Amino acid sequence: MSLTIDQKARATMHGNDQGTYTLPTNGLYPYQWNWDSAFAALGFATFDVNRAWVELETLFSGQWDNGMVPHIIFHRESAGYFPGPREWGTKTVPPTSGISQPPVAATFTRAIYASDPASGRSRVEKLFPRLLRWHRWFWRHRNEDGLIVVNHPWESGRDNAPEWDEAMANVDTSGVGTYSRNDTSHVDPHMRPSKEDYDRFMAIVAAGRACGWDEEELTRNGPFRVADPGMSFILLRANRDLMALAEELGEDSGEIEGWIRIQEAALPRLWNPQLNGYDALNIRTGNFAGSMSSASFLNWYGGIENPQAMAEFRRITAAVPFAFPSHDPASPRFEAFRYWRGPTWGMINTLIGMGLEEMGHHGEAEALRTSTASLIEKSGFAEYFNPMDGQPAGGMDFTWTAAIWLAWASPNRHRKAG
């Protein structure tokens, strides 16, 4: 008997399941990653809601005293991964990286809670204060007048995207020395960030380590500080969901509402008229990146309507057979196979699709969902896909691709798993 895609998705998640957290995929990513885990929780909630809560609880077990939830938690030593605990040098227990990742957790917590409020109530009551502390950390340390910044491209979750090129070019790599990375032994180097990019990634890590990950110091003098439409829209959305959770729990929501108002007022500053799109803005130089990416279209997910963005969204969707590419195919920097410089990512499609649906763009949302489903039917649970021919790329058997199949792309997504 051949397995259905739903069954294969669950098997993929089980295959990466470590009991209390889930690997993005075995081999390439041997630890717990922040937003990967939140997506995993969303997937688990379609067939095992208790396991979904455990995933989120384990993620928050790595929360720092200052409220940050790190982008990687090194629960168990794994020799094959670079940069590991030693390079990050955070001195935390468990060891972690020194930066965060896009906060989708509050949004998915709310969705998982809504799917089964009776069993979720006590779990949400415990998670809420932790989510609030994390969002406060963002507000204190990643907020530039209401725009949300990243201190490392990895913090955005879109590692080598063209929106970081300008700011990365200013990162001094003279002190980096030699090192050997491991990612290119797992997948084709053509699909991974280049050596120059990697040197700069490591230089920013070294700067954080050198000051003991002192946020005040990094805010003032860190080598990289760029306002990101992705982070800004995702936190705005997460704040809306956190506020709804606060109201549900009878907690005071005034502080969160204040953040939302400030973010809403600030976001037009990320609109680059030359690009006709939301763009990354380098805080150190005041320059726009000039990059239209998939994150430029998270405005609906953030609850913000924009007819010009819709026109661009339609143009790009029509330009590729398998939307939505991570970079504008009309740009000379577009590369169909290189990671965040062109490929289509199912989990970003999910966020864009959720936003479109909620803001009444049902046709666009449904087209994006069915095109994502067709990619997975054709090419499996790949890390990402070539938007031109739908070929799978990066690692295979990826947790978040399986999870979003179950929670969003599958035709059976509204049915409870038997």
Binding site for ligand GLC (CB under 6 A): 24, 29, 33, 35-36, 157, 159
What is the DSSP code (8-state) at residue 57?
A: H
Compute the least distance from the CB of residue 268 to ligand GLC, in Å. Answer: 27
Known catalytic residue at 159: yes
Integer Cα distance of 357 and 412 in angstroms: 17
Closest to ligand GLC by CB, 228 vs 364, is 228
Choose between 197 and 364: whose C-beta lies nearer to ligand GLC.
197
Shorter beta-carbon distance to ligand GLC: residue 30 or 67: 30
Beta partners for residue 226, in sequence order:
150, 282
- The catalytic position among 6, 36, 55, 159 is 159
CB 295 within 8 A of CB 330: no
User: Quick one: 31 or 271, whose CB is closer to ligand GLC?
Assistant: 31
**In angstroms, what is the minimal distance from the CB of 85 to ligand GLC?**
17
Phi-psi region of 68 (alpha: psi -120 to 50; beta: other; left: phi over 0): beta
Least distance from ligand GLC to the Cβ atom of residue 36, Å: 5
- Nearest approach, Cβ of 24 to ligand GLC (angstroms)? 3
Q: Could you confirm whether 383 is annotated as catalytic?
A: yes
Collapsing DSSP to helix, strand or coil, 144 comes out as: strand
Q: How far is the CB of 228 from ligand GLC (least distance, A)?
A: 13
Q: Of 128 and 400, which CB lies nearer to ligand GLC in the complex structure?
A: 400
Cα Rg of the chain, angstroms: 20
Cβ burial of 92 (10 Å; 0-12, 13-18, 19+) is buried
Nearer to ligand GLC, 35 or 301 (CB): 35
Give the whole-angstrom CA distance, residue 393 versus residue 337: 7
Catalytic residue among 279, 357, 383, 397: 383
- Please answer whether residues 43 and 413 qualify as being in contact, where contact means their C-beta atoms are separated by less than 8 angstroms: no
Listed residue (153, 119, 126, 150) closest to 60, CA to CA: 126
For residue 412, the tally of other CB atoms under 10 A from its CB is 13
List the beta bridge partners of residue 387: none
What is the greatest pairwise CA distance in the chain? 60
For 5-17, give the secondary structure using H, E and C: HHHHHHHHHHHHE
Q: How far is the CB of 171 from ligand GLC (least distance, A)?
A: 18
Helices 346-358 and 362-379 meet at what angle, rounded to 10?
Answer: 160
Q: Please provide the size of the chain in residues.
A: 418
**Positions marked active-site:** 159, 383
